[in-house]
Chains A and B, each alone.
Chain A
Amino acid sequence: MEPASDQNLNLDELSLWKAFKAGDEVAFAEIYRLHIQGLLNYGNKISPDRQLIQDTIHDLFIELWNSRQRLNDTTSVKFYLFRALRNKIFRAGRPEMSSEEDMLQLTEPSAEFLMMENEMESDRIDRLRAAVSRLSKRQQEAINLRYFHDFSNDEVASMMGLNYQSACKLIYSGLKFLKENIKLLIIILLYFREL
Chain B
Amino acid sequence: MAKDYSTYDVEDFLEDESFKSWVLTKAGNGHWEKIVAGHPHQHQVISDAAKLILDLKKAEQTPEDAETARLIWNNIRKDIQAPARVVPFMPKVFRIAASIAVILGCWFGYRILRTDGISGKIVSQSEATQTVEKNTSEKVKQIHLADGSVISLQPNSTLRYPKDFNEETRTVYLEGEAFFDIAKNPEKPFVVFANEVVTKVLGTSFNIKAFEQDKDITVAVKTGRVSVLSKNEFDQSRDQQNQTLSGLILTPNQKAVYLKNEEQLKKTLVEQPSLITTSTAKSYDFNFENKPVNEVFDILSKAYGVEIIYDEDIFRSCSLTVGLEDEELFEKLKIICKTINASYQVIDTKVLISGKGCKF
Contacts and interface: CB of A to CB of B under 8 A. Distances in A.
Are A and B interaction partners? yes
Interface of A: 1-6, 8-13, 15-16, 18-19, 22-26, 28-30, 32-34, 36-38, 40-41, 44-45, 54, 57-58, 61-62, 65-66, 124-125, 128-129, 132, 143-144, 146-148, 150, 152-153, 168, 172, 175-176, 178-179, 182
Given A5-B99, A125-B55, A147-B57, A33 B91 contact: yes
Given A30-B93, A147-B24, A40 B56 contact: no
Interface of chain A: mostly helix, strand, loop or mixed: helix
Interface stretch (B12-20, B140-148, B282-290, B313-321): B12-20
A3 B225 contact: yes
Contacts of B243: 4, 6, 9
Contacts of A66: 80-81
A37 B84 contact: no
A178 B69 contact: no
B44 interface: no
A62 B100 contact: no
Interface stretch (B31-39, B168-176, B210-218, B299-307): B168-176
Contacts of A30: 88-90, 93, 193
Interface of chain B: mostly helix, strand, loop or mixed: mixed
A8 B193 contact: no
B80 A62 contact: yes
B79 A62 contact: yes
Interface of B: 10-11, 14-15, 17, 20-21, 24-25, 52-53, 55-62, 64-65, 68-69, 71-73, 75-76, 79-82, 84-101, 103, 108-109, 112, 124, 126, 129-130, 160, 162, 166, 168-169, 171, 173, 189, 191, 193, 198, 200, 225, 227, 234-235, 237-239, 243-245, 249
Contacts of B92: 34
B61 A148 contact: yes
Contacts of A34: 90-93, 108-109
A10 B245 CA distance: 13
Contacts of A58: 72, 75-76, 79
Given A18-B168, A148-B57, A25 B84 contact: yes
Nearest to B94: A12
A1 B100 contact: yes
Contacts of A152: 17, 239
B62 A26 contact: no
11 contacts: A9-B96, A9-B234, A9-B238, A13-B93, A15-B191, A18-B168, A22-B166, A24-B166, A29-B87, A65-B81, A128-B56
Given A34-B108, A143-B56, A24 B68 contact: no
Contacts of A29: 73, 84, 86-90
B86 A26 contact: yes
A3 B14 contact: no
A15 B168 contact: yes
B21 to A, nearest CB: 6
A12 B93 contact: yes
Contacts of B86: 25-26, 28-29
